[in-house]
Structure 1
Amino acid sequence: MHLYLHIPFCKQACHYCDFHFSTSLNQKPALVDALCAEIRLQKDYLPDKRLETIYLGGGTPSLLTETELAQIFAAINDNYVVLPTAEITLEANPDDLSTEKLQILRRYVNRLSIGIQTFDETTLQWMNRAHTATEAERCVQSARESGFDNISVDLIYGIPNRDQAYWKNDLESILALDVPHVSAYALTIEPDTAFGRWQQKGKLPPADETIAAEQFEELTNTLTNSGYEHYEISNFAKPGQYALHNTAYWQRKSYLGVGPSAHSYNGDSRQYNIASNARYIADIRQGKLPATIEELTVADQVNEYLLTGLRTKWGCSLAELNKLLGRNFVDAQAHDLSAMYASGWLVNDGDRLRLSEAGKLFADRVAATLFVEE
């Protein structure tokens, strides 16, 4: 089983991310109490009580105090069995990772996902990030010195009004740090953010798709030539360093999500918690689960598998697609499959459908083309 804790509070405004849901820090104790209560309420959501992974993310969970971490993990251990080999990840900002904080975190988690985004000082300021490029580099070294050897770093590419030099420098910095895992995402600007409003007013140009594609290609070539495996479109890992929690999502394994906006999946249905922190806390205090349950249709399950599976190096199993669909997938989608083979974006090795290198730039389009209807 896999457990995700969505902890939506953040100490800073973020221009390009949608943090309008963030809880102010003085509300943090109430949210932590509610999270722990939901862990107890949801203990029977999945029959397997053994946790293979735990992921603390969503906002800035590195702001949790030692007392709050202890409270959360006490609730987890009271209701589940955390396997000795469990991957336990926490998302963090570089400026939160002081030596003292790292020592505290080391008692609870064994993997850090650090939101560096870029090592370019000008771009960090433009993004309204609280950390500097120097802090970004220093925090990785400090994490290692504190005993963390499983570290992932997030980068963002395709940023408007930035030349290619910053991206080349970012990749060089990553290689110099020799982190075992890298997640890199094209910039996505949400409408209800400062950047979104700037774009609406013409103050910020949209991302150049050609430049983003060039940067993605440079990213892929640089990291794979340096010993990283490109195992999912946005993720690169040294041998044996896959993100186990995220891989569970991509491989359609069941998971429980706890917290405002958290999603859960049990193979047949998906559960969505409400986004409002205040309503979430109020419902949990009344012993109610603040969730909506969506029963997944055959088409839902097939299409979700296509959308996530095609992003990975493993692609989609034709046997699994046949099982989900209840008939032969290749026969059912013969016309659209032929079009994707002809485009050069998709390959069929007889057992699996996989994206070609060129197809990785069009993953969502390929998946959408192959979607089935009821």
Structure 2
Amino acid sequence: MSPSFLSHAQPYFAARSWRRGLLHTLTENRRCLGRRYASNASESTPAPTPRTVFSGIQPTGIPHLGNFLGALLNWVNIQRNAQPGDKLIFSIVGWHALTLPQDPKALSEARKEMLAVLLAIGLSPERSIIFHQDDNPNHTELAWILNCLTPMGKLRRMTTWKSRLATSRNARDESEVDESLLNVGLFTYPVLQAADILAYKATHVPVGEDQQQHLELCRDLADSFNRTFKGKTTLFPLPQQVFTPSRRILSLRDPSSKMSKSSPDIQSRIVLTDTAAQIKTKIRAAVTDPIVGVTYDPETRPGAANLLTILAAFTDESPHDVAARYHDKGHGRLKADVTEAVEEMMRGPRAEFERLKGEVSYLATVARSGAEKARELSEVTLREVRTRVGLA
């Protein structure tokens, strides 16, 4: 491996100093992950059992602040806290993106940009397997086999497909969605998600609460396969959910809904590529309320509560603790401090992303290497699967 390749692979966070607030956040995240993910073993206890961690993200636009605080920084923390024997697998899930209409040229570009994002925030191809899901056909092969084990009733009980369809149609309520618009891919994508996980015999999956139902389906399918196609050993482990420490970030323009890349109002979200001026403008225009003083009350003051939640994400405090410091201050001061904190955090990854996205050959090398490692791991699983179902 060439020195130039290694130089690009150095994690961003290891090479930059961060403001105290963000360091507090990372410390708290490590503390939480230490309880839920990393071993609590001391020198006198046995070494923890190696784990295989899998998670994925769709290439559907530049990540926003909610993605950044809710998932991506936690991936970096998982990498930082991993034991030497742990396998870390992070995928850009292009096949999942196809469940909703996509512009082919835009999707192709988004795939490259998402890879650059993952490297810019600190994931290292030297420690983690980072690859495009669509570069590994083992995912779809396993998905088809699992489809043949999945009862229709289980998929009908999935709730996220309808919410995704509602979001794509800009519907205010899921009841407004016409189910005749549902395509088969969107209906069955939880099975493909299960295949993504099981292809690597993943033991731990860091996902949000909105994906818990899908992980339960994955566990059910793993158990069903193990019982239907028995062997000398159990083939699939039942993956555990890693509850990552994150806060739900809401739209700046409509704090009754989550911050979303698909919202038609670009002022509703802060994305990684926003300049300092754009961040300032968006936060200054964030919806609050006319009540004097600042309190944390998500029910009656959701706009202010959202800003407090964002600011709290940079410290080891709760939003209530942050609110206590602003009880006699106005929303203007709160917005100014949120702006400063967000820009301080985004500045480094933004610059690194801008640098990396132009290095096309390097990104291609990372993607190719990651895909080779992913195929090598998953092929072992698929050979066992084919043998057990009678296709070998």
- TM-score (ref. length: structure 2): 0.29
Structure with the higher strand share, 1 or 2: 1
Structure with the higher helix share, 1 or 2: 2
Structure with the larger RCO, 1 or 2 (CA within 8 Å, 6+ apart): 2
- TM-score (ref. length: structure 1): 0.30
